[in-house]
């Protein structure tokens, strides 16, 4: 298809002067939507390099490099569910704004913020229970840095969601003008998906050995 598109030739314009065009952009037809996709691409790369670092060092030393006891799933597994539920909440709130259901829009965002905050609180408890520090081994350095990077992204996501909630209360968004909500929600889903990779890496793969 690209090759075909690259063949130059006279081609009639599909949209001609005279068609009505949206002003400023609506929904995903908006420069900012492309912008957030770029942001997600570069952030995804960042996490890919972080996880590469983990696997690279891990492979150098083999299973002995892992902490003696496998990481507990007691807190981390339910916490993962909490984060995934927050994604569902954002999705539900996003549906609300698209379909003009204002209460659903506000409730979705608020619930997502609450669940995100719970996730962070549980993560902090999880951190406090670890017997190693960030400087005690390269495993510890990687554990705290990668989960810390992720947590920083959750914090940014929460600031974004809170700002969107404020703007929603102020009535800035409507059935057509709501690109910021789509953007915030895409970012939040991205942060949640990244957690699945981080979680699998630190909490699930050790059980393979």
Partner 1 sequence: MTALESDRIPRTVRVDGDWPGARLEEIWGTAPTLKGWLSCVDHKEIGKHYILTAFAFLILGGLEALAMRLQLAGPERRLLSPEAYNQLFTMHGLSMIFLYAGPVLTGFSNYLWPLLLGSRDMAFPRLNAFSYWVYLAAGLFIYAGFVAGHGPDDGWFNYVPYASRAYDAGINIDIYALGLILLGISTTVGAANFVVTFLQTRAPGMAISRVPILTWGTLTASVANLLAVPSVSLAFFLLWMDRQFGTRFFATAGGQPLLWQHLFWMFGHPWVYVVVLPAMGMVSDALPTFCRRPLVGYTAVALSTVATMALGFGVWVHHMFATGMPSLALSFFSGASLIITLPSAVAVFAWIATIWTGRPVITTAFLFFASMIVLFVIGGVSGFMTAAVPVDWQLTDTYFVVAHIHYVLIGINVFPVVGAIYYWFPKMTGRLLDERLGLWNFWTMFVGFNVGFLPMHLLGLLGMPRRVYTYGHGLGWSGLNLLVTAGSFLFAAGVLLLLVNVVLSLRRGKAAGRDPWGAPTLEWAVPSPPPSYNFAVIPIIASRHPLWEERLGLGGARSKLDEGYLLDRGRETLGTTALDARPNLILEMPEDSLAPLLLALGLVGVFVGALAHAWWVTAVGGVIGLIALIDWLWPRYIHADLEKVGG
CB of 174 to partner 1, least distance (A): 4
CB of 77 to partner 1, least distance (A): 27
Nearer to partner 1, 173 or 190 (CB): 173
CB of 52 to partner 1, least distance (A): 8
Tokens of 71: 């990481």
CA distances to 79, 102, 125, 157, 207 from 112, rounded to whole Å, are 13, 16, 20, 10, 31
Nearer to partner 1, 92 or 139 (CB): 139
Positions of E strands within 87-189: none
Nearer to partner 1, 53 or 205 (CB): 53
Q: Please tell me whether residue 108 adopts helix, strand or coil conformation.
A: helix
CB of 15 to partner 1, least distance (A): 4
Contact footprint for partner 1 (CB under 8 A): 2-3, 5-15, 17-26, 29-31, 34-35, 38-39, 41-43, 45-46, 49-50, 52-53, 56-57, 60-61, 134-135, 137-138, 140-142, 145, 159, 163, 167, 171-174, 176-177, 180
Where b means 16+ CB within 10 Å and e means fewer, 46-72 reads ebeebbeebeeebeeeeeeebeeeebe
């Amino acid at each position: 298809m690209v090759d075909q598109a690259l063949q130059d030739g006279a081609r009639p314009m599909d949209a001609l002067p005279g068609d009505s065009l949206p002003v400023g952009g609506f929904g995903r037809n908006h420069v900012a939507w492309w912008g957030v996709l770029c942001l997600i691409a570069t952030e995804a790369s960042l996490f890919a390099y972080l996880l590469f670092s983990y696997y690279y060092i891990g492979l150098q030393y083999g299973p002995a490099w892992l902490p003696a006891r496998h990481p507990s799933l007691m807190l981390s597994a339910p916490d993962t569910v909490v984060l995934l539920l927050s994604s569902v909440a954002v999705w539900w709130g996003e549906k609300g704004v698209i379909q003009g259901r204002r209460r659903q829009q506000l409730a979705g965002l608020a619930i997502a913020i609450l669940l995100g905050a719970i996730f962070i609180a549980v993560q902090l408890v999880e951190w406090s229970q670890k017997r190693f520090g960030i400087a005690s081994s390269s495993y510890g350095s990687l554990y705290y840095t990668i989960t810390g990077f992720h947590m920083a992204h959750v914090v940014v996501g929460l600031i974004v969601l809170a700002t969107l909630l404020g703007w929603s209360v102020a009535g800035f968004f409507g059935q057509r003008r709501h690109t910021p909500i789509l953007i915030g929600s895409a970012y939040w889903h991205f942060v949640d998906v990244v957690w699945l990779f981080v979680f699998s890496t630190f909490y699930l793969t050790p059980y393979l050995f």
